[in-house]
Structure 1
Amino acid sequence: MRILFSASGTRAAPWIDGLREALPQADVLEWQPGAPAADHAVVWAPSQQLFDEQPGLRAVFNIGAGVDALMGRRIAPSTLVVRLDDAGMSVQMAEFVCHAVIRHFRELAAYEGDIAQGRWTYRKPRLRADFPVGVMGLGVLGTRVAQALQQFEFPVLGWSRSPHAVDGVRCFAGPAQFDAFLAASRVLVCLLPLTAETENILNRDTLGRLRPGAYLINVARGAHLVEADLLTLLDSGQLAGATIDVLREEPPPAGHPFWNHPRIALTPHTSARTLREESIAQIAGKIRALDRGEPVAGVVDRSRGY
C-alpha cells in the first residue's frame, strides 16, 4: 500500500513519520510530480496535478473539517473524499465560541477598555434569556458548540440544510425556516460548510434580519461573509460587534478595516486547529477499515459539497 502526503503550508515530515508509525506496512511518501501510483492520499489544499496523475486513488483524506478546497478539484468519481470527523477540533471550537459569546454577553471588552483608561466602572448585568444564540450548521462541530452553550444557560437555536434534532436546542431546517431562525437569534455563530449555496450567506440582508444589536461570530470560512456589509451594519448599529476568525484573504492586507475596528475581535484562523496525532490515528483507522472492506465515517457527498 502506498500513501502520498501533500499539504500546502504544512511541514510534511512529522505527518509522514506519524503515518509510517501508524501504518508500518505502508509506503508513505511526500507527493512530488511524477510520483508512483498510490492507493491513498492525505492532503490539504493539494495541486490539481496530484489528482491528474493519480486517477486510481481509492481515497483522499482531508486533514481538516472543511473540504471546500477539494471541491474545486477534478477528482476521479471512484475516489472517496473523506474528511476528519473531529480529531480534537470540536472541543476547541466549543471553547472558542463560548469564550466569544461570554465575552460579548458580559461586556468584557468594554471593561478592559475602561480599565486601560483608569476607569473603575460597573454595568447592569444582562439576562441570558435576552441573548439567544443561533448556530448555523449542526454537523459535528456545530452540535458540540450548541451543547456547550447550553451549559451556560443561553437559549440555543440551530439551523441546518436538512432537519437535525439536538436535545435542548430549538432546531430549524431549510430555506423555509431560515428567516424565523435569524429573527429569533441575537448572537449568530456560523459553522456552515462552504458551498455555492452558502457563499456570501452572511450579508446585509441576512444579518439585518437578526435581532437589533446582534453579534456575529464567524468561525467557518471567510467567503461566507460579505465584509463590506458587516462594516455597514456595525456603523449603523444594527450589529453590536463581531468575532471574526476567518477571512477571504489570510492574513488580511495592511490597511484592512478589520485590523483595528473597535467592534471587531479578529483572530488568525485559530478557533479549531488540526491536531496531528489525533488526525493521523483517525486517518490510519479509516484506511485499515477500507482495506477490510468496511464503510467509514466522514465520506463527502460531492453533490452537496460536504
Structure 2
Amino acid sequence: MLTILFAARPDRWDAYEAPLKRAIAATGLTDFRVVTEAAPEEVDYIVYAPNSDVQDFSIFPNLKAILNLWAGVETIVGNTTITVPLCRMVDTGLREGMREWVTGHVLRHHLGMDAQIKGTPGLWDPRIPPLARNRTVAILGLGELGTACAETLLALGFTVTGWSRSPKSIPGVSCFHGPDGLTECLSAAEIVVLLLPNTPATENTLNARTLAAMPRGAFVINPGRGPLIDDDALLAALDSGQIAHATLDVFRVEPLPADHPYWHHPQVTVTPHIASETRPETAAEVIAENIRRSESGEPLLHLVDRSAGY
C-alpha cells in the first residue's frame, strides 16, 4: 500500500483530505492511504508545505518524492536532507487567480481609475487613457504564472515584453534575458509586474539603478516575492515621482509591520498576500498526477532545479 504523508499545518488537512483522496483515486490507483502520521519507513510520498514541522527528510528511507503545496520553494530548496525529487506547485487555480489579480491591477493603473475612485468631488478632469496597444507592460519572470499573465494582457491588446534570467520564447511577447536584457526591457516599461522566484540572484531585481531605467511615472506591481524589491530604493523613487505608484502584495516580513512606510505612503497600495492561492481541488489533481507518473515510471511535472533554486 502506498502511504502519502500530508505534512502541512493541521488546519490545511480539513481542506485537502477529501480532494486528495478523490484525485488520487481518479488516477486509477486503489491501494493507497493519505495520512497525517505514519512510521517514517512506511512513507512513499510527502505532500508538503514548507511551514510544516517536517524538516529532516533523512528519516524517510523509502521516500520517492516531495510534492510541494506552494509555488515557492525558496525555504526548502536548500535543505540538505532532501535526496529525492522535489516538485513545486503549478496548478490551474493558482494560475487563474494570479492572472485575474494582475490583470485587474494593470487595468486599474492603465485606465487611471484611482483618479475617479479617490477623486475630489466637483473636480471635472476628463483625462483620456491611451489604448492598451499604446501601453507597454513588462513581466519580469516568464515561468508558468508570468506566461499566463503575459498571454492574457496580450489578448487585451497591450504591448507586452518579458524578462527572465535565461532565454524564453512566448508568441507575441518581446522576450529579454540577462543583465543587459533587463535594462532594455525596463526602458520602455510603463507598468512592470514582478513574478520572479526568490533566489539570491533575483534579490533586489528592482533597485535604484533598475528603477531609474524605467520611464518616469511608471507603475510597479509585485505579486511575486518581497525580496525582489529594494524597499528603500522604491520609496525614494516614489517620493521623487520616478515611480507613480506601487501595488504590493508580498513583503520581506509578513504580515507587513504596522509601522512600515508602505502602509502610510500615498502612492503605495498594500494587499495582504492575496494575489493568488493554491486551491485544494486543483492542487490535489496536480499532486495525484505526479504520484501516478512516479508509479508509472514517467517524468514528474514541475520538478525543481535545485541548483537554480526553483
TM-score, normalised relative to structure 1:
0.92
The 5 Å alignment of 1:235-254 reads 235-254=239-258
Answering whether residue 11 of structure 2 is matched by residue 5 of structure 1, we say no
The 5 Å alignment of 1:1-306 reads 1-8=2-9, 10-23=11-24, 24-31=30-37, 35-45=40-50, 46-47=52-53, 49-77=55-83, 79-114=84-119, 117=121, 119-306=123-310
C-alpha displacement at 1:129, in angstroms? Answer: 4.8
1:181 and 1:101 map into 2 onto residues whose CA distance is 17
Aligned amino acid, residue 171 of structure 1: C
1:160 and 1:49 map into 2 onto residues whose CA distance is 31
Structure 2 CA distance for partners of 1:19 and 1:41, relative to 1, 3 Å: same
Deviations, residues 96-129 of structure 1 (Å, cap 9, x unaligned): 11111111111111111115x4545422333445
Work out the number of aligned pairs and report it.
303
Deviations, residues 185-205 of structure 1 (Å, cap 9, x unaligned): 121111111111001212112
SS class of match (1:211): coil
C-alpha displacement at 1:259, in angstroms? Answer: 1.7
SS class of match (1:296): coil
1:10 and 1:101 map into 2 onto residues whose CA distance is 34
Q: Percent identity?
A: 39
Q: Is the 8 A contact 2:68 2:88 kept in 1?
A: yes
Deviations, residues 156-204 of structure 1 (Å, cap 9, x unaligned): 0011122111111111122232211111212111111111100121211
C-alpha displacement at 1:270, in angstroms? Answer: 1.0
| RMSD of aligned residue pairs (Cα, Å) | 2.0
C-alpha displacement at 1:255, in angstroms? Answer: 1.6
Where structure 1 has 5 or more consecutive residues not aligned to the other structure, the ranges are none
Report the more deviating stretch, 176-185 or 269-278: 176-185
SS class of match (2:92): coil
1:70 and 1:193 map into 2 onto residues whose CA distance is 13
